Structure 1
Amino acid sequence: MRTKDVAYQALLNRVRDGKGTHEDWLLLRTRVIGIGLHISLNEPPWNEAPILVYRNELRTELNNRAVINKAYETGRSPTVVIATDTIKAKKHIDLPDLTKRLLALSDNKTEHLPGYLPLVPGMPVLLQENIACEIGLSNGTLGIFHELIYDETKEHTTSADEGIFTADTVFVRNAQYALVELRKSKIKNLESLDPLIIPIPVIEKTFEVNLEKLYADKGPIMKILNSKKLKTTISVKRRGLPLVPAYSITTHKSQGQTLPKIVIDLNMPPGMVEVASAYVPLSRVQQLTDLTILQDFSINALQVKPSKGQIAELNRLSVIFKQT
């Protein structure tokens, strides 16, 4: 079982059932920065702890900033791998900024292949594909990025990429594979590579995109589609690396993992609050002291009653919990 702190385990069981107590709330508040805890996220061990968030968009923004900071700390220019998209359609589609809009899509809408993948040696990454589960290369595996292998053509960009990244960023459109240190890999040494270094290759995935949603900010787009008799949904084949930075991870992606240290926020985003919203991040660590909470939160986060569907999901998580 993941948790070795008996009191914390009892707290988790109550949160799981939506029965968090006032005492549980007070105990967790001792881990809130500035209230019961006086630490810096810029210092060890918390500067290496992933931030768990609920939204993919926030995760991407935090990761982009963290990679840029890491690059400057190590005296390097940030490198960004740009995925290659091929639109599969009978008719040519000529819409403004279509390529950029596709690349900017969150990877949870693109079969988990990011359009822009910022990288710098020494950064944590998360594998997004089951490459070879039998040897430990499975979806959700954490690793450390070491090197990008690509054709020698390097492309410097300016404002062409909407200012998402800094002006000195090196953009690579012809990546072949990434060398990643995977400590959980069952392959300990490959010829000509350092121990635990595994090449993660570029892969291809196909996904569908609704053009009406993609251009929701452009009202006249439907007139263009109708005038050209184009379908509102297109199929896109993407070629890219199945990796994302892991400075920040979604709570969904963290399911089933035991993490040494984490930083979380128990203030839920707008929309339906599910019991797993609090239970999943809280149960990623083995003891209370492995957890830091960004800001104060309401006791309501610990008292969400699970529905029948949520109970089934929590039972599934419980099985994973006991196996890790």
Structure 2
Amino acid sequence: MRTEDLRYLQLLDRLRYGQCNYDDYELLQTRAVGQPSIESLHDSPWNKAPILVFRNEIRTQINNKAAIHNATQIGHPLMIRNEKKSNQKTILSIKRTALPLVPAYCITTHKSQGQTLSKVVIDLKLPNETDDIAAVYVPLSRVKRLVDLAIIRPFDNKVLLMKPSKSQVTEMERLDQLFLNTRSRFPEWFQ
């Protein structure tokens, strides 16, 4: 199990089924930026934590701005090209050597699935059309402890009450049964 914080683990278990209560909401609100626990994202360790977002466009914008900011901070020259569309059939031959690095100041929630992150910054104010519990559960469950989580801004309690689909419930029940079968078959692994 990834989560080490018992109260946080219980919150995540309730979240999976859309059964969070107001205490869960208040607990998560303590992790919002501006609260005494997280005064600013400019301070360490939050200024080094990846930001999880739902959309690729937002991820790209944040990564570009962070790369430009960091390059100017260290005095590195920037090369930014804005390609304009043209109907000309000019053929160019360009040769260069570069490393295909993509800074990961920000990653999508989808990309973060399966990862355990030491610190993470998330936004729980979901796009209007989002009604999938995974959009909330995945970013919240990337860290082992609640103290390793920062929430960019206050959010609506409704995001903690989204119910899983029937197929998600069926899959969770299947996985729970698989866990019970494994534990009874190999009890020495669970001591």
TM-score band by shorter chain is 0.7 to 0.9
1:244 partnered with 2:102 = yes
Find 1:174's aligned residue among 72, 75, 96: 96
1:281 partnered with 2:139 = yes
- How much has 1:311 moved relative to structure 2? 3.6
**Bigger helix share:** 2
- How much has 1:74 moved relative to structure 2? 1.2
RMSD: 2.9
Amino acid corresponding to residue 14 of structure 1 in structure 2 = R
Percentage of matched positions with identical amino acids: 48
Deviations 1:111-153 (A, max 9, x none): xxxxxxxxxxxxxxxxxxxxxxxxxxxxxxxxxxxxxxxxxx8
DSSP-derived class of the 2:102 partner: strand
Structure possessing the higher relative contact order (Cα contacts under 8 Å, 6 or more residues apart): 2
Q: Which residue of 2 aligns with 1:230?
A: none
Alignment size in residue pairs? 170
Deviations 1:80-127 (A, max 9, x none): 699xxxxxxxxxxxxx8279xxxxxxxxxxxxxxxxxxxxxxxxxxxx
1:53 partnered with 2:53 = yes
Task: Trace 1:117-156 onto structure 2 (pairs within 5 A).
Answer: none
- CA–CA separation in structure 1 for the residues paired with 2:137 and 2:156: 14
Task: Trace 1:85-96 onto structure 2 (pairs within 5 A).
Answer: none
- CA–CA separation in structure 2 for the residues paired with 1:76 and 1:251: 30
Task: Trace 1:149-298 onto structure 2 (pairs within 5 A).
Answer: 174-175=96-97, 178=99, 241=100, 243-298=101-156
Q: Which residue of 2 aligns with 1:72?
A: 72
- CA–CA separation in structure 2 for the residues paired with 1:75 and 1:39: 29
Q: Unaligned stretches of 5+ in structure 1? A: 83-95, 100-152, 154-172, 179-240, 320-324
- CA–CA separation in structure 2 for the residues paired with 1:293 and 1:264: 5
Q: Which residue of 2 aligns with 1:6?
A: 6
Distance 1:43 1:300, change over 3 A: same
TM-score normalised per structure 2: 0.78
The 4+ residue runs of structure 1 with deviation greater than 4 A are: 79-82, 312-319
TM-score normalised per structure 1: 0.48
**Bigger strand share:** 1
1:97 partnered with 2:19 = no
